[in-house]
């Protein structure tokens, strides 16, 4: 009987010890992020981030290039960007990026056809950005063969 009382007493002591630890105040761990400590929040809108220039493989500034007698913008990039070939069929010029004939042409943020690019004077162009890697994917499926982004002086 005495052993039974010791067993019950030990069990009750264990329960009291465990129960008191359950209501104890938790310790603060250092270096752990506490969401109530956040004072400022920032919202980032993807439309605010300019995605053209930082990801371009090559950027040609037309004012810095030596003057060359060219009829259109594509003739102006001939021989200046590695991996880009420009051929001429009649009055129109066509660009090949990494061997593919149909890159995406963008003038001032608007996708256009190669015929619109051939009508632009090289004197109206501020910069030409050539995207050859994975960066043209930001323009959608049409940018899979690369992209030539033309920024005019009028913007």
Q: H/E/C letters for each residue in 109-123?
A: CEEECHHHHHCCCHH
What pLDDT is attached to residue 107?
A: 94
In a domain, 44, yes or no: no
Residue pLDDT, tens place only, 12-40 = 777 777 666 555 555 555 555 555 554 55
- For residue 84, what is the enclosing H or E element? strand 84-89
For residue 92, what is the DSSP state?
E
Residue pLDDT, tens place only, 35-66 = 555 455 444 444 444 444 456 778 888 888 77
- State the residue range of the domain holding 76: 51-152
In a domain, 38, yes or no: no
- For residue 8, what is the enclosing H or E element? helix 2-22
Q: Are 104 and 111 in contact (CB under 8 A)?
A: yes
Total structural domains within the chain: 1
Which CATH number do you get for residue 121? 2.170.130.10
């Amino acid at each position: 009987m005495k052993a039974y009382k010791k067993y019950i007493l030990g069990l009750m002591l264990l329960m009291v010890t465990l129960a008191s630890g359950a209501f104890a105040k938790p310790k603060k761990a250092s270096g752990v992020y506490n969401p109530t400590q956040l004072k400022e929040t920032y919202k980032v809108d993807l439309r605010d981030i300019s995605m053209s220039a930082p990801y371009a493989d090559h950027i040609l500034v037309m004012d810095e290039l030596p003057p060359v007698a060219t009829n259109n913008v594509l003739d102006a990039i001939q021989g200046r960007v590695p991996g880009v070939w420009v051929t001429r069929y009649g009055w129109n010029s066509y660009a090949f990026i990494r061997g593919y004939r149909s890159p995406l042409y963008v003038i001032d943020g608007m996708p256009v056809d190669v015929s619109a690019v051939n009508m632009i004077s090289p004197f109206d162009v501020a910069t030409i950005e050539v995207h050859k890697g994975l960066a043209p994917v930001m323009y959608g499926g049409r940018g899979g063969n690369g992209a030539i982004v033309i920024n005019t002086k009028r913007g």
